[in-house]
Amino acid sequence: MNSSYLSVENVSITFDTDSGPLNVLDDVSLKVERGEFISLIGHSGCGKSTVLNIVAGLLQASIGGVLLENREVTEPGPDRAVVFQNHSLLPWLSVYDNVRLAVDQVFGRSKSRQERHQWTLHNLELVHMGHAIGQRPDQISGGMKQRVGIARALAMQPKVLLMDEPFGALDSLTRTHMQDSLMEIQARLNNTVIMITHDVDEAVLLSDRIVMMSNGPSARIGEILAVDLPRPRDRLPLADDPAYNHYRAEVLRFLHERHARPDVPTSNVGGDDQVEPEERPTRLKLAAG
């Protein structure tokens, strides 16, 4: 019997492509405790989304499987809510109706109409979107859309919240706001979260553990870094914190020394092509230290 809350057990997956079978994941195992915040980091195309989709039930593993509270995951369901990279709100529904659709679907039997209305509003307030409930997705900014996407996922009261690069499409300023919001929500609700990210700072700031994946094909989990920083975390003081910078350096070292992308020239190693230097005051510290 397995005791952890969520466990990914020896998952391998092989896709049939035009150029033959492609083994994307090879024997990936991961145990997640209840209330833990896990980041999944790795180079583009290594299979992070694939891991997340297998946990969500949107993809079926070729070998191995996923257990949630000791029950095998066989299909998608609202107990494993997903926040997609490009928000995926229904564009013809208002912000309220997007969340309400999920609430009605999940709590249609267990809550009264009035309760569902209140629950929808409550979740929109939680992500600070209570002022825009009547707007359509194309009338609000990218950050606001992502907030609504998170509200929709939270409203399902999932056992595990799965986020695939939730802030990847946002500008850096909006992204920091969203990270702060997410930490605030996490402090209140203490959800179990698996989040994919490309951003090293985001991973260190938000996570309890950072799961670093090796390059594909046949990607595995390379290393797991426990981030032992006290909460609540505040990005400004942390920028000067040696422990914080140590964690950052660990992740960078993994990504750029041990698992540098083969198509990236070695002179680039240590430079993250995803993020502009001005967004990262800590890099200077790292170089100096």
Partner 1 sequence: MRATIIDPQKSFRLAWLQSLLAYLESDRLVQRTLLLIRQLLIPLAAIGLFLILWSAGAASVTTSLGQLPGPAQVWDQGVQLYQEHRASREREVAFYQRQEQRNAARLARDPNAEVKIRPYTGSPTFVDQIGTSLVTVATGFLIASLIAIPIGIVCGMSATLYRSINPIIQLFKPVSPLAWLPIVTMVVSAVYVSEDPLFQKSFITSAITVTLCCIWPTIINTTVGVSSIDRDLINVSRVLRLGWLTKTLKIVIPSSVPMMFAGLRLSLGIGWMVLIAAEMLAQNPGLGKFVWDEFQNGSSDSLARIMVAVLVIGALGFILDRAMLMLQRWATWDRNAVLR
Ligand X SMILES: Nc1ncnc2c1ncn2[C@@H]1O[C@H](COP(=O)(O)OP(=O)(O)OP(=O)(O)O)[C@@H](O)[C@H]1O
Residues that bind Mg ion (CB under 5 A): 49
The total number of residues written for the chain in this structure? 289
Of 222-281, binders to partner 1 (CB under 8 A) are: none
Of 163-222, binders to ligand X (CB under 6 A) are: 216
Asked if 84 interacts with partner 1 (CB under 8 A), we say: yes
The interface region with partner 1, picked from 1-9, 91-99, 181-189, 279-287 by CB under 8 A, is 91-99
CB of 45 to partner 1, least distance (A): 18
Neighbouring residues of 223: CB distance < 8 A, sequence distance ≥ 6:
212, 254
216 binds, among partner 1, Mg ion, ligand X, none (CB under 5 to 8 A by kind): ligand X
CB of 169 to ligand X, least distance (A): 12
* Count of residues that bind ligand X according to CB under 6 A: 13
DSSP string covering 129-159, please?
A: -GGGTT--GGGS-HHHHHHHHHHHHHHT--S
Give the integer Cα–Cα distance in Å for 51 and 56. Answer: 9
The amino acid sitting at 243 is A
Phi, psi of 124 (to 5 degrees): -70, -35
**Residue of the chain from 48, 100, 233, 283 that contacts ligand X (CB under 6 A):** 48
CB of 45 to Mg ion, least distance (A): 8
**Closest CB to partner 1 among 196 and 251?**
196
Give the integer Cα–Cα distance in Å for 249 and 235. Answer: 16
Asked if 76 interacts with partner 1 (CB under 8 A), we say: yes
Kindly report the number of other CB atoms within 10 A of residue 65's CB atom: 15
Backbone CA torsion sign across 266, 271, 272, 274: negative
Q: What share of the chain is helix, strand, coil (3-state, %, to 5)?
A: 40, 20, 35
47 binds, among Mg ion, ligand X, partner 1, none (CB under 5 to 8 A by kind): ligand X
Give the integer Cα–Cα distance in Å for 260 and 94. Answer: 43
**Closest CB to partner 1 among 113 and 188?**
113
Of 15-34, binders to ligand X (CB under 6 A) are: 15, 17, 22, 24
Asked if 106 interacts with partner 1 (CB under 8 A), we say: yes
65 bridge partner residues? 9
Applying CB under 8 A, the residues found at the interface with partner 1 are 56, 58, 75-78, 80-82, 84, 86, 88, 90-93, 101-102, 105-106, 136, 138-139, 156
Positions touching ligand X (CB under 6 A) are: 15, 17, 22, 24, 42, 44-50, 216
